[in-house]
Amino acid sequence: MGTVIFPEWLNTIIRMVIPMGIILALAPVGMMYLTWLERKVIARIQDRVGPNRVGPYGLLQPLADGIKMLTKEDLVPEGADRLLHFLAPVLIVVPALFLFTLLPFGPGWVAAPLKTGLLFFVSIGSLGTLAIFMAGWGSRNKFSLLGAVRTAAQLIAYEVPLVLGLAVIPMITGTMDLGDIVLAQQGRWFITTPWGAAGFLILLTAGLAEVARTPFDLPEAESEIVAGFHTEYSGMKFALFYMAEFLSTLALAGLLSTLFLGGWWGPVFPGPLWMGLKTFLLICVMIWFRGTFPRFRMDQLMGFAWKVMLPVSLMNLLGAACWALIPGIGGDLMSLILVFGAFLITTQLWLAPKPQLTKKWSSRILEQP
Amino acid sequence: MSDRLIYFFLGLFGLAALVVPLLPIVLARFIAPKRPGPVKEQPYECGMEVEGDAWVQFRMHYYVFAILFVIFDVEALFLFPWAVIFKQAGIAGLWAIGIFVGVLLLGWVYAWQEGALEWEQ
């Protein structure tokens, strides 16, 4: 009896296929229990009990929801583009699943250890915009179309600070491989550096906007545009939009803990447990936001992205450069001053009362001969 | 493991991932009831009768944002290769990228001055 030695090609296949299979099997389950967690936590915030009828602590509630969704009639509005209407929920889930293949859950525990993992994560993550627009256009409903247009505007606005905020990581680590980024945080998690703390906040804000969660949930602002781009979806297709939203929330929390909270580094416990714990805490913070924050107004949302987030994330790049080039406390201070100064100045400019350019109509009438 | 091999497996993963959304949709097709009706299939309009078509031309007041997005997203893409070799490139690289970003920032200031960053005028 000796150890069985697989041929090289079989080894490769096993190494790739097994983690991918695990992701495909576990991601939907994780998403289902995320809905349960969210409902429970929000219920507590709002002084309610939340789901508690189906199973102990309502633990079987997601399963019951799934069965309910399966038995609901699938309506397609008259005159809709049936192909786009069908493809949109499919195409929004697939990129969200891709995101998990890139996250390192433990030392070497990554399904696809790409050298350009960071860039691949962003590019795959932004594919959802297309599916959302397909849903809005294909439904042939005014609310859907307005919701899709609005969502596209929001997603592209926050894409820019998101990508710029990510660029500080390869500046300091010199790599875009997510596993190597975690390795680089062995001694010091990036959130403890000034540019890391600012980058974490920038990415948390922009990321929340990208996955359209409170306070950036304008795409589904029910008081204005019914349910936005998924107004005309029912049954399982509707559930798939929620699945995509929760999956990308999970992936966002995973990315943030990978990049700034040291990924799987931590004392005593094994790495994957730490990664899970950090992701879980970030998810809880996001649910807490949802329970407490009001929604942005559309012009505030766009103004915040273009007038505050964009310059602040650029200044954070400069701050990180200063931190790397100036040794000692000087670099820390310089980095802090740049980001904080940019934030103070841009928020003042953004919130300043706008100059009244046109005269009031009454004075214009009086001027006329 | 080469990146090309990983991309190949990612492609396979994409095909396998199609099962996750397609399986419930197909299942629902067998399980869910199907009772279509003319009123049921109307586009939702808060219970009112449908007024006009949704596929009409209307003012997209954010095409300027779309142009700005293209500019800054491409800029961000150009930043990544520089960011990876930032430590080797040193001060000279910082100057070069600073001038590149600075030119775009001038355009951003101009856009703000012109009111292109306001959502509704």
Whether residues A167 and B80 touch (CB distance < 8 A) is answered with yes
Closest CA relative to residue B50, chosen from A107, A142, A161, A13: A142
Looking at chain A, the whole-number percentage of residues with pLDDT higher than 90 is: 7
Of A119, A236, A354, the CB nearest to B80: A119
Which residues 41-80 of B have a C-beta within 8 angstroms of A? Answer: 41-46, 53-55, 60, 62, 65-66, 68-69, 72-73, 76-77, 79-80
CB A143 within 8 A of CB A55: no
The type of residue at A269 is F
**Is residue A30 left, alpha or beta, with left meaning phi > 0 and alpha meaning psi from -120 to 50?**
alpha
Whether the pLDDT of residue A307 is over 70: the answer is yes
Which pLDDT band, with edges at 50, 70 and 90, does A281 fall under? Answer: very high
ipTM over 0.85: no
Q: What is the mean predicted confidence (pLDDT) over A304-317?
A: 89
Q: What is the mean predicted confidence (pLDDT) over A320-331?
A: 84
Query: Is residue B96 a part of any domain in this protein?
Result: yes
In Å, how far from its chain's centre is CA A127? 13
Interchain CB contact of B37 with A (< 8 Å): no
With CA atoms as reference, the chain A residue closest to B89 would be: A171
Which pLDDT band, with edges at 50, 70 and 90, does B121 fall under? Answer: very low
Distance CA B83, CA A117 (A): 14
Whether residues B86 and A90 touch (CB distance < 8 A) is answered with no
pLDDT at B2: 74
Average confidence score pLDDT of chain A: 84
Q: Is the dihedral of CA A121, A127, A129, A132 positive or negative?
A: negative
Q: How far is B6 from chain A (nearest CA, A)?
A: 6
Whether the pLDDT of residue B54 is over 80: the answer is no
3-state secondary structure of A114: coil
Q: What is the mean predicted confidence (pLDDT) over B92-116?
A: 86
pLDDT at A202: 92
Count: domains in chain B: 1
Distance CA B21, CA B33 (A): 19
Q: What is the mean predicted confidence (pLDDT) over B26-53?
A: 78
Give the domain CATH number at B91.
1.20.58.1610
Query: Is residue B107 a part of any domain in this protein?
Result: yes
Which pLDDT band, with edges at 50, 70 and 90, does A255 fall under? Answer: very high
Query: Is residue B3 a part of any domain in this protein?
Result: no
Interchain CB contact of B109 with A (< 8 Å): no
Whether residues A71 and B42 touch (CB distance < 8 A) is answered with no
Distance CA A198, CA A318 (A): 12
Q: What range defines the domain where residue B73 resides?
A: 63-113
To the nearest 5 percent, what fractions of chain B are helix, strand and coil? 65, 0, 35
Query: Is residue B97 a part of any domain in this protein?
Result: yes
Whether residues A170 and B86 touch (CB distance < 8 A) is answered with yes
Distance CA A102, CA A121 (A): 7
Residue where the block lists tokens 């991309």: B7
Average confidence score pLDDT of chain B: 81
Of A140, A226, A302, the CB nearest to B54: A140
Query: Is residue B109 a part of any domain in this protein?
Result: yes
Query: Is residue B119 a part of any domain in this protein?
Result: no
Distance CA A278, CA B62 (A): 37
Whether the pLDDT of residue A322 is over 50: the answer is yes
Query: Of A131-140, A145-154, A209-218, B54-63, where does mean pLDDT reach its minimum?
Result: B54-63
CB A225 within 8 A of CB A153: no
| Span A183-228, pLDDT tens digits | 888 888 888 888 888 999 999 999 999 888 878 887 776 677 777 7
Query: Is residue B104 a part of any domain in this protein?
Result: yes
Q: Higher pLDDT residue, B65 or A198?
A: A198
pTM: 0.86
Chosen for mutation from A63, A145, A163 (greatest number of chain B CBs closer than 10 Å) is A163
Residue where the block lists tokens 């195409």: A91
Chain B positions in Cβ-Cβ contact with residue A237 (cut-off 8 Å)? 25
